[in-house]
Amino acid sequence: MNHNDPTPFLRIEGVHKFYGADHILRGIDLSVRRGEVVCILGRSGSGKSTLLRTVNALEPITAGRVILDGSLIGYIEKGGCLYHLPAEELARQRARIGMVFQHFNLFPHMTVLENITMAPQLVLKQTRKAAEAQAMELLEKVGLADKAYAYPASLSGGQQQRVAIARALAMRPELILFDEPTSALDPELVGEVLGVMRQLASEGMTMLIVTHELRFARDVSHKVVLMHEGRVAESGPTSKVMSAPRTPAAKTFFSTLT
Ligand SMILES: Nc1ncnc2c1ncn2[C@@H]1O[C@H](COP(=O)(O)OP(=O)(O)OP(=O)(O)O)[C@@H](O)[C@H]1O
Ligand SMILES: [Mg+2]
């Protein structure tokens, strides 16, 4: 892990986002270093998902920029103006960024193995044999080697989410975005998904995670970012922000943490 590398791998600079007249993101600055685990926290409606979606250009932005490893995400700059990136280049950028959502979005008509091997074959041009060998390794890693030929509907929510994580990993991403990956799960299934994420973190994966799991954030993340009404209310090293919040929004938010 080299999260002591001072150069940010991901930089979000002055990002604003409007939906019609609604000013949803109001000037967000945030950086993530390689190997760093950053949790985005905040109340419902504070803009967490919208912000996460700007990172892989699922959400066009009104102002500001998102830079991954030195390259503008989603746009190209010419003569001081930003233009949308051509679809092919956008796809290349997105292949570097994994995304795991609250709802697993597995393809229901495909087996677990097919779900995991599809994108590596299509996008990375892996052979079926290579993609399947990699998928089996990843299934082993998330504890589901025996489910390769199962269909998603026959799996629990926790198992489906672990498949979704394996599917994201199969693209060998350099950064993974998680949007409330455990929010749709029954409480007894949350731990197995957080366990896989914890393991990824310890292996040095760069992760940007929207979560309501404050204990997980406290135990696993290097940095937390508290969003409040479209702004970063407070951010910094996890232990510092969570044990001694400075701003009123953060004090209120973390007062529920035991
Ligand atoms: N497609 C959209 N069109 C218009 N407004 C939207 C759209 N998506 C989100 N919003 C608004 O943007 C604000 C922020 O939404 P966002 O989903 O980013 O919040 P969040 O922090 O992820 O909340 P939650 O914890 O409930 O997931 C909300 O007020 C929401 O209503
Ligand atoms: Mg959300």
Pocket test for ligand 1, best of 25, 40, 49 (most atoms within 8 A of CB): 49
Going by pLDDT thresholds of 50, 70 and 90, the confidence category of residue 116 is: very high
Percent of the chain with pLDDT over 90: 85
Domain boundary pick from 171, 204, 220: 171
Question: Given the CA of residue 47, which atom of ligand 1 is nearest to it?
Answer: 18
Average per-residue pLDDT for the chain:
93
In this prediction, residue 1 carries a pLDDT of 45
Q: Is the pLDDT of residue 256 over 70?
A: yes
CA of 46 to the centre of ligand 1 (A): 7
Closest to 223 measured CA to CA, from 234, 121, 213: 234
Please tell me whether residue 210 adopts helix, strand or coil conformation. strand
With a CB cutoff of 8 Å and minimum separation 6, the contacts of 176 are 97, 98, 99, 100, 168, 169, 200, 205, 206, 207, 208
Residue 113 sits in the same domain as residue 179: no
The pair of three-digit structure tokens given for residue 200, joined into one six-digit string: 């990824």
In this structure, are 92 and 12 located in the same domain? Answer: yes
pLDDT of residue 19: 94
Identify whether residues 196 and 212 lie together within a single domain: yes
Per residue in 196-220, pLDDT (tens digit) is: 999 999 999 999 999 999 999 999 9
Residue-wise pLDDT tens digits, 24-33:
999 999 999 9
Cα distance between residue 16 and residue 132, in whole Å: 41
Number of domains making up the chain: 2
